Structure 1
């Protein structure tokens, strides 16, 4: 069993800490909705993103927020959305995050990740995370809307890898595409990806409204099927099934207007840490974080990396 977490191109192993008395000085990973705007209209979107949404905070506010996260001690930033590449200043944002030691992961649908953009972003991005839920154009459109298509996602994977980036393919596994899991697996197998993460639909955003139709009825059986598929894939491809534990859904979350929350996707609930990113002192961050119970902090670590998810 392999731990699927890859940091700067290396896979990490080790004994996972126990939850009793667990403490963190700061969150290891922060999930950030850079913008709520997106060309896709994914029916399982956990953030309710859409094409007419505001872009989000201005770059000065964003840079202050990134500075505070760095000073606080956060180690990793997952920059997603929405679609972060719709922001014309995304390269400058990721450069700033990388310069502050936040090790950004870019979560994208890949539509705008052409060769030039991949080359521009690669020096600042620890990992490219590219969505691929189906290789069938009609099924892809049914899940993600008419914009883009699987050919653009597959192109983005190669562009990112050619630029020297580490690539993780992400698949939202649901009732509509699970019967074609082997087709997606074959595409990932042929690609330059080093990781394949499969997510269950979470009851948040549009996903909450359609989970009764899209949700997997038996997560254990889905994990078993992923494990069976994995047996036929190349050995250097780390495969992970995510979403069959309540801990998977707990994350430290930075909203598009740069508010910090502790979010639990499984219950569609959130707790605002009430921090003013423009004026709060780092001691305020530590004080707010200290109020989070040990179980929730441990869950955020499991959300970040856990060997039990490897298949």
Structure 2
């Protein structure tokens, strides 16, 4: 395995996220579909989806550039019937993980584990069936809970629950924190709502208040280098409760807060692959898409190098903060 490539801002690229499909059996009201917008099509496979051979060829090539981790996303990646094959053929040098809505984990989690999958993130935005249905526009609440159980039984622990925090889910944050604190094998990732991708700024809430609350109740606060994140280890949501004797008895809660956060962007080490074979250096941008053409090995190498060379921190460079605290587009990137 070679050395990681580095962009002009000194950020090494060590991870890739690959969207296996833009199809999904949910219709979440906050969905941004890996930054591409709500482009989901019919449930049947489409001709533009990367094949298993193309995905594996891409992974074999970028392994030459020190890529250590791959996360398979969608849409809903488990709509791919060849998912187990893709995981099995992922280079041994890479840790493979999956982001899923969890509805298909029962019956497939064990096979995915045997294929080499290391862990899963499961989207779960509420512990209330009615609110879950309102957010996801699906009736799959029980299937998601069962899928989480199946992942734990298959040894895919810790299972990280993804919860987008916005107007519709904010009242359920405390219950979700209690849920992961009380159950071994679960972690929680609270994801800041991104109005710039979804177009509904009125749904936004102040994620700083969630940070403050977690800081008050946490037994321990850990700083994570990636994206300069904080991890909160919580054994009880009661601020007066004594801390757990053993940190392992606490639940881990992490906040992903990229909005207007230059520190987050300065610590980004990912390149993304769209379901139809384009590379992009930033979730928030679609003006940096680069086609890998016919996906020959040299085409992949050249495009990967180009995308890394052109990576720009979204906040702090692509968007810059003005003296009055507003963010405006850096015109030097408009025609780049």
TM-score range, shorter chain: 0.7 to 0.9
Shift in Å at residue 20 of structure 1?
9.3
**Residue number in structure 2 paired with 1:87:** 80
DSSP-derived class of the 1:271 partner: coil
Shift in Å at residue 283 of structure 1?
5.0
TM-score (norm 2): 0.71
Shift in Å at residue 274 of structure 1?
4.0
Match of 2:62 among 55, 62, 69: 69
Distance change in 2, residues 1:111/1:230 (3 Å): farther
**Residue number in structure 2 paired with 1:30:** 16
- Partners of 1:202 and 1:269 lie apart in 2 by 15
Is the counterpart of residue 279 in structure 1 residue 296 in structure 2?
A: yes
The answer as to whether partners of 2:8 and 2:309 remain within 8 angstroms in 1 is: no
The answer as to whether partners of 1:83 and 1:109 remain within 8 angstroms in 2 is: yes
Q: Which runs of 5+ in 1 are unaligned?
A: 1-18, 300-311
Shift in Å at residue 118 of structure 1?
1.0
Distance change in 2, residues 1:229/1:175 (3 Å): farther
- Partners of 1:54 and 1:263 lie apart in 2 by 28
Is the counterpart of residue 242 in structure 1 residue 256 in structure 2?
A: yes
Match of 1:262 among 274, 277, 281: 281
- Partners of 1:202 and 1:261 lie apart in 2 by 18
**Residue number in structure 1 paired with 2:309:** 291
**Residue number in structure 2 paired with 1:3:** none
Is the counterpart of residue 227 in structure 1 residue 215 in structure 2?
A: yes
- Partners of 1:110 and 1:293 lie apart in 2 by 32
Is the counterpart of residue 158 in structure 1 residue 149 in structure 2?
A: yes
- Partners of 1:21 and 1:213 lie apart in 2 by 33
**Residue number in structure 2 paired with 1:4:** none
Once the two structures are superposed, residues 107-161 of structure 1 have per-residue CA deviations (whole angstroms, 9 ceiling, x without a partner) of 01100100x3111111311211111110111110111112411x32222222111
DSSP-derived class of the 1:43 partner: coil
Distance change in 2, residues 1:136/1:91 (3 Å): same
Distance change in 2, residues 1:260/1:286 (3 Å): closer
Match of 2:132 among 116, 128, 140: 140
Shift in Å at residue 226 of structure 1?
3.5
**Residue number in structure 2 paired with 1:104:** 96
Match of 2:111 among 120, 129, 132: 120
**Residue number in structure 2 paired with 1:171:** 163
DSSP-derived class of the 2:190 partner: strand
**Residue number in structure 2 paired with 1:215:** 204
- Partners of 1:104 and 1:129 lie apart in 2 by 12
- Partners of 2:292 and 2:22 lie apart in 1 by 21
Shift in Å at residue 95 of structure 1?
1.0
- Structure with higher Rg: it is 2
Once the two structures are superposed, residues 2-45 of structure 1 have per-residue CA deviations (whole angstroms, 9 ceiling, x without a partner) of xxxxxxxxxxxxxxxxx996253xx2111221111111100111
Greater relative CO (CA pairs within 8 A, separation 6+)? 1
More helix by share: 1
The answer as to whether partners of 1:64 and 1:277 remain within 8 angstroms in 2 is: no
Shift in Å at residue 76 of structure 1?
0.8
Q: Which runs of 5+ in 2 are unaligned?
A: 1-6, 220-233, 236-243, 318-336
Q: Alignment RMSD, CA only?
A: 2.9
